[in-house]
């Protein structure tokens, strides 16, 4: 029996397990009710009295060796499994949060503000024909905006061009629906201009249109007052200056008090205390008639703003080109929190 125990002991010491299933099979083989160690204790009653002390010590040593072997192997397998789980390539990547582009943030803010007062969102094609981009908006045939210096024509075709404003979307809306119309048209527009800190050949606009019976300039002003205070804060002051646009009459430009210097004067507002943010006016009756809307019955107002200009004021950015260069150092300042 002594030799039998010694052989089992060597077998136990030489055992190794590659997984927990093999380790469990080892435990059952040696320590279960029908296991090898349990069987040895059953045979112990047949050992001669003078050998029982020695055999008992050997059997206890064997049992302890088996138990220590199980504990040691289990710890090793657990650590190995943790390491595998830590570097499991099938697990989802822990990617860092991305950054929302400042133009997208401002565009969504503008849409949200006008949505609260009943304006829906309309979109249209970026490649437009002459009628929707110019003629339907009361542009004379000799208007400077039709010149190649301002417009990107497609294949030098004077009738097809990249849209120069999202007013073309408003034309399509008026063509395909009848008042009441209350919509804003956000989108990308293109003009053949030199790129600088204050200008670009690609930029973004949000234009608004409201057509119904008895719409007045007072309605326009109250709408834009609400917009300015919601976007720039309750302390924002506004003013309107007479201007000219082919598709509105009367027309105006709207200024807000400079939110950088608080109206005291700085290089951003050219030391005037005011910054122009949009153009607006009452829709010219000719535009309504060209779009199939009775100008004797309906009136309306329209406005348009550059998203880049709004974003520059909101975030105090002094170079428009930063919006298009995708510099990670710039974009990361607008890192998402969701």
Strands (DSSP E) along 156-298, which ranges? 157-162, 181-190, 202-212, 238-245, 248-257, 274-283
216-228 pLDDT, tens digit per residue, is: 999 999 999 999 9
Q: Rounded distance, CA 68 to CA 57, Å?
A: 16
Q: What is the reported pLDDT for 338?
A: 47
- 102-334 CATH: 3.30.930.10
- Is the model more confident about 326 or about 48? 326
- Is the model more confident about 287 or about 69? 287
- Identify the band that residue 88 occupies on the pLDDT scale cut at 50, 70 and 90: low
Query: Which residues, including other chains, have CB under 8 Å from residue 265's CB and lie 6 or more apart?
Result: 258, 271, 272, 273
Q: Rounded distance, CA 286 to CA 203, Å?
A: 28
Q: Rounded distance, CA 36 to CA 244, Å?
A: 102
- Identify the band that residue 148 occupies on the pLDDT scale cut at 50, 70 and 90: low
Contact 179, 293 (CB under 8 A): yes
Q: Rounded distance, CA 205 to CA 309, Å?
A: 10
Q: Is 92 left (phi over 0), alpha (psi -120 to 50) or beta?
A: beta
Domain boundaries, the chain: 2-86, 102-334
Identify the helix (H) or strand (E) that includes residue 169. helix 167-176
Query: Which residues, including other chains, have CB under 8 Å from residue 201's CB and lie 6 or more apart?
Result: 152, 190, 191, 192, 193, 194, 195
As a whole number, mean pLDDT of residues 242-250 equals 94
Q: What is the reported pLDDT for 228?
A: 94
**For residue 125, what is the DSSP state?**
-
> Of 301, 323, 305, which is closest to residue 228 (Cα–Cα)?
305
> Of 64, 59, 76, 63, which is closest to residue 16 (Cα–Cα)?
76
If you search the block for the tokens 């019955």, which residue do you land on? 297
Tell me how crowded residue 70 is: count the other CB atoms within 10 A of its CB: 19
Identify the helix (H) or strand (E) that includes residue 303. strand 299-306
Contact 69, 12 (CB under 8 A): yes
Phi/psi for 335 (5° steps) reads -60, 135
As a whole number, mean pLDDT of residues 181-193 equals 94
pTM of the predicted model as reported, rounded to 2 decimal places? 0.69
**For residue 151, what is the DSSP state?**
-
First to last CA, the chain: 71
Q: Among residues of the chain, what percentage have pLDDT more than 90?
A: 45
Contact 255, 275 (CB under 8 A): yes
| Rg (the chain; Cα; Å) | 40
Quick one: 283 exposed, middle or buried, by C-beta within 10 A (0-12, 13-18, 19+)?
A: buried
What b/e string do you get for 299-330 counting C-beta neighbours within 10 Å, with b at 16 or more? bbbbbbbbbbbbbbbeeebeebebbeeeeeeb
Per-residue CA distances from 261 to 56, 233, 273, 283, 313 (Å): 94, 14, 7, 34, 11
Contact 127, 161 (CB under 8 A): yes
As a whole number, mean pLDDT of residues 13-22 equals 80
- Is the model more confident about 92 or about 221? 221
């Amino acid at each position: 029996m002594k030799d039998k125990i010694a052989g089992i002991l060597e077998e136990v010491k030489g055992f190794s397990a590659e997984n927990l299933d093999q380790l469990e099979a080892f435990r059952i083989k040696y320590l279960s009710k029908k296991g090898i160690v349990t069987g040895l204790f059953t045979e112990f009653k047949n050992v001669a009295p003078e050998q029982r002390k020695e055999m008992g010590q050997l059997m206890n040593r064997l049992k302890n060796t088996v138990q220590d072997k199980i504990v040691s192997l289990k710890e090793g397998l657990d650590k190995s499994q943790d390491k595998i789980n830590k570097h499991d390539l099938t697990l989802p990547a822990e990617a860092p949060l991305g950054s929302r582009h400042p133009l997208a943030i401002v565009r969504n803010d503008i849409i949200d503000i006008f949505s609260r007062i009943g304006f829906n969102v309309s979109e249209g094609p970026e490649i437009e024909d002459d009628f929707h981009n110019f003629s339907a908006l009361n542009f004379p045939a000799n208007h400077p905006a039709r010149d190649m210096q301002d417009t990107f024509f497609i294949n030098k075709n004077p009738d097809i061009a990249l849209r120069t404003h999202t007013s073309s979307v408003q034309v399509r809306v008026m063509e395909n629906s009848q008042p009441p119309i209350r919509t804003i048209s956000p989108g990308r527009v293109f003009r053949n201009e030199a790129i600088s800190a204050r200008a670009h050949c690609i930029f973004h606009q949000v234009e608004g249109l409201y057509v119904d019976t008895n719409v007045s300039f007072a309605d326009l002003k109250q709408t834009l007052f609400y917009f300015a205070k919601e976007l720039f804060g309750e302390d924002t002051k506004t003013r309107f200056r007479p201007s000219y646009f082919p598709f509105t009459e009367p027309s105006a430009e709207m200024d807000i008090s400079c939110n950088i210097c608080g109206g005291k004067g700085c290089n951003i507002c050219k030391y005037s205390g005011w910054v122009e943010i949009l153009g607006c006016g009452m829709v010219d009756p000719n535009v309504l008639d060209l779009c199939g809307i009775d100008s004797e019955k309906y009136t309306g107002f329209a406005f348009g703003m550059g998203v880049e200009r709004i974003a520059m004021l909101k975030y105090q950015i002094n170079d428009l080109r930063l919006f298009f260069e995708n510099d990670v150092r710039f974009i990361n300042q607008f890192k998402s929190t969701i």
